Structure 1
Amino acid sequence: MSKMIIGLTGGIGSGKTAVSDRFAAHGISIVDADVISRVVVEPGRPALEKIRDHFGTDILLEDGNLDRAQLRQKIFSSPTDKQWLESLLHPLIAEETLRQLSEAQSPYAIYVSPLLVESNQKGFCQRLLVVDVSEETQLQRTIARDSNDAEQVKRIIASQASREQRLALADDIIVNDSDLKSLHEKVDAMHQSYLALV
Structure 2
Amino acid sequence: MARVVRLGLTGGIGSGKSTVAACLAELGAAVIDADAIARSVTAAGGPAIEPLRATFGNKMITPDGALDRQQMRSLVFADASARQRLEAIVHPLVGQETRRQTETAVAAGHRCLVFDVPLLVESPHWRSRVDQVLVVDCSEPTQISRVVARSQLDPEAVQAIMQAQSPRLRRLQAADAVIWNDGISLTDLRTQVAALAATFGLSLANTTVGPH
Q: Same fold (TM over 0.5)?
A: yes
Q: What's the secondary structure of 2:199's corresponding residue?
A: helix
The aligned length equals 196
- How far did residue 150 of structure 1 move? 1.9
- How far did residue 2 of structure 1 move? 6.5
Q: What's the secondary structure of 2:48's corresponding residue?
A: helix
Amino acid corresponding to residue 186 of structure 1 in structure 2: Q
Q: 1:128 aligns with which of 120, 129, 133?
A: 133
Q: What's the secondary structure of 2:200's corresponding residue?
A: helix
Gaps of 5+ in 2: 203-212
Within 5 Å, which residues of 2 pair with 1:51-66? Answer: 51-66=52-67
Q: Which 4+ residue blocks in structure 1 deviate beyond 3 angstroms?
A: none
- 1:147/1:61 CA distance change after superposition, 3 Å: same
Amino acid corresponding to residue 7 of structure 2 in structure 1: I
Q: What's the secondary structure of 1:195's corresponding residue?
A: coil
Amino acid corresponding to residue 69 of structure 2 in structure 1: R
- Structure 2 distance, partners of 1:110, 1:59, is 32
Within 5 Å, which residues of 2 pair with 1:1-198? Answer: 3-104=4-105, 105-119=109-123, 120-177=125-182, 178-195=184-201
What's the Cα RMSD here?
Answer: 1.8
Q: What's the secondary structure of 1:93's corresponding residue?
A: helix
Amino acid corresponding to residue 117 of structure 2 in structure 1: S
Q: What's the secondary structure of 1:34's corresponding residue?
A: helix
Q: Percent identity?
A: 40
Q: What's the secondary structure of 1:31's corresponding residue?
A: strand
User: Which structure carries more helix by proportion?
Assistant: 1
Alpha carbons 1:7, 1:112 under 8 Å: kept: yes
Alpha carbons 1:2, 1:106 under 8 Å: kept: no
- How far did residue 6 of structure 1 move? 0.3
Alpha carbons 1:115, 1:121 under 8 Å: kept: no
**Cα deviation 1:29-61 (Å, max 9, x = unaligned):** 100000110122233334211222333323223
Structure 1 range deviating more: 107-116 or 86-95: 86-95
- 1:84/1:2 CA distance change after superposition, 3 Å: farther
Alpha carbons 2:45, 2:65 under 8 Å: kept: no
Q: What's the secondary structure of 1:116's corresponding residue?
A: coil
Q: What's the secondary structure of 2:178's corresponding residue?
A: strand
Q: TM-score, normalised by structure 1?
A: 0.91
Gaps of 5+ in 1: none
- Structure 2 distance, partners of 1:69, 1:76, is 11
Q: TM-score, normalised by structure 2?
A: 0.86
**Cα deviation 1:138-184 (Å, max 9, x = unaligned):** 11111222211222211211111111111111111100002212111
